[in-house]
């Protein structure tokens, strides 16, 4: 089976490429700007951009399945135009190119952020409505609009399935991701306090295995939520300390106080030309549903999530091997 992976050098993409190779797929990676994490892998690499439909059509030549993991992630309100360009217009380009190229199946990666979190005391599953309205973050809105486009194409005959992961963490996080940077900052003692909040975290390798199983078994139009376990930030700090021996902060900042500090943290990061980790949007994401169900995926193709401690330990080992943190 011949597969094209967009966003191949991203955190999910790097793991997906490796998982597809293990499962016997022939892999073609769409390269936009970076080949980091793909060096020395037995794959074909082609240049392209999901904002350029013709480059997608060329990349899809002789391809059976397209895995669209390309996307722009932002926790800033100022990047709405770029988010729409990639996560909405880019998705429409992937749909159009897939139809032109006659691919057999499109596998699109959306996110838990595309779905309304409230009510927080009720289990969240695939039936939740999409986020909407000006109060939603630009990232959430862009992912919702992209998923809506794929669902519409599927209803008109495109063989497409949609995967909605929760917060992805795990190895092969080369850039690193926003939460990967949080873990690195913990290991380097650059975080004076932790936030009294949490999220549903899922191992990127479990997402890959679930995605491949869905690709091979799910019916056209299927939508599947792949979750892991909800864990507070304090639990992650404790695990980092237990595994590495590096002392992590014990002071827990209430979410409301962090929200007051967020504008100053964003401004400080901007002045230092650094990526902001504490923003109003990242804090909104942490005010999330604790009951996220992957029952549909488990019943459909046997999806399961590994123990959270194993994920954290393997992530830390990866960062240490890459020289991003001190060995332990």
**Domain span holding position 108:** 2-173+201-229+289-306
The Cα–Cα gap between 13 and 4 comes to 11
Please say if the pLDDT value at position 319 is more than 90.
yes
Please say if the pLDDT value at position 311 is more than 90.
yes
Q: Does 63 map to a domain?
A: yes
Q: Does 251 map to a domain?
A: no
Query: What is the model's pTM?
Result: 0.96
Return the pLDDT at 183.
Answer: 97
Q: Does 256 map to a domain?
A: no
Please say if the pLDDT value at position 265 is more than 90.
no
Q: Domains in the chain: how many in total?
A: 1
Q: Does 271 map to a domain?
A: no
Q: Does 328 map to a domain?
A: no
Please say if the pLDDT value at position 287 is more than 90.
no
165 cis-preceded (ω within 30 degrees of 0): no
Q: pLDDT tens-digit profile of 169-192?
A: 999 999 999 999 999 999 999 999
Q: Does 150 map to a domain?
A: yes
The Cα–Cα gap between 151 and 142 comes to 14
Which strands sit side by side in the sheet containing 2-6, from one edge to the other?
A: 44-47, 26-31, 2-6, 65-68, 105-109, 160-165, 223-226
- Cβ atoms within 10 Å of 227's Cβ, excluding its own: 27
Return the pLDDT at 218.
Answer: 98
Q: Does 187 map to a domain?
A: no
Structure tokens that stand for 199 in this block: 């999220």
Q: With bands split at pLDDT 50, 70 and 90, how would you rate the model's confidence at 264?
A: confident
Q: pLDDT tens-digit profile of 67-110?
A: 999 999 999 999 999 999 999 999 999 999 999 999 999 999 99
Please say if the pLDDT value at position 211 is more than 90.
yes
Q: Does 294 map to a domain?
A: yes
Write the CATH number for 107.
3.40.50.720
Q: Tell me, rounded to whole angstroms, the distance of Cα 142 from its chain centroid.
A: 14
Q: Evaluate whether 6 touches 66 at the Cβ level (below 8 Å).
A: yes
Give whole-number Cα distances, 224 to 11, 103, 126, 202, in Å. 20, 21, 7, 14
Asked which of 223-227, 251-255, 284-288 is least confident by mean pLDDT, the reply is: 284-288
What mean pLDDT do residues 307-321 have?
A: 98
Report the SS3 class of residue 190.
coil
Please say if the pLDDT value at position 138 is more than 90.
yes
Q: With bands split at pLDDT 50, 70 and 90, how would you rate the model's confidence at 6?
A: very high
Return the pLDDT at 153.
Answer: 98
């Amino acid at each position: 089976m011949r597969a094209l992976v967009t966003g191949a050098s991203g955190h999910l993409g790097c793991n997906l490429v490796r998982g597809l190779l293990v499962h016997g797929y022939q892999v073609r990676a769409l390269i936009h700007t970076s080949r980091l994490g793909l060096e020395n892998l037995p794959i074909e690499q082609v240049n392209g951009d999901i904002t350029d439909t013709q480059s997608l059509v060329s990349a899809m030549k002789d391809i059976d399945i397209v895995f669209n993991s390309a996307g722009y992630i932002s926790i800033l309100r100022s990047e709405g135009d770029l988010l729409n360009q990639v996560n909405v217009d880019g998705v429409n380009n992937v749909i159009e190119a897939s139809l032109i190229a006659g691919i057999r199946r499109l596998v699109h990666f959306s996110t838990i952020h595309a779905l309304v979190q409230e009510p927080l005391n009720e289990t969240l599953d695939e039936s939740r409505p999409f986020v909407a309205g000006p109060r939603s973050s630009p990232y959430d809105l862009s992912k919702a609009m992209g998923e809506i486009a794929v669902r519409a194409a599927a209803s008109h005959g495109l063989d497409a399935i949609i995967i909605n992961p929760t917060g992805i963490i795990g190895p092969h996080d080369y850039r690193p991701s926003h939460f990967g940077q949080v873990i690195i900052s913990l290991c380097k003692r650059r975080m004076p306090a932790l936030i009294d909040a949490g999220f549903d975290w899922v191992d990127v390798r479990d997402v890959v295995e679930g995605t491949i199983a869905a690709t091979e078994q799910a019916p056209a139009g299927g939508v599947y939520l792949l979750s892991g376990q909800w864990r507070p930030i304090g639990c992650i700090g404790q695990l980092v300390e237990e595994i590495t021996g590096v002392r992590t902060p014990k002071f827990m900042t209430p979410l409301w106080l962090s929200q007051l500090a967020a504008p100053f943290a964003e401004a400080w990061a901007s002045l230092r030309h650094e990526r902001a980790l504490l923003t109003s949007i990242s804090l909104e994401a942490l005010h999330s549903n604790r009951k996220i169900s992957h029952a549909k995926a488990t019943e459909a193709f046997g999806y399961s999530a590994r123990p959270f401690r194993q994920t954290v330990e393997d992530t830390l080992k990866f960062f240490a091997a890459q020289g991003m943190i001190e060995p332990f």
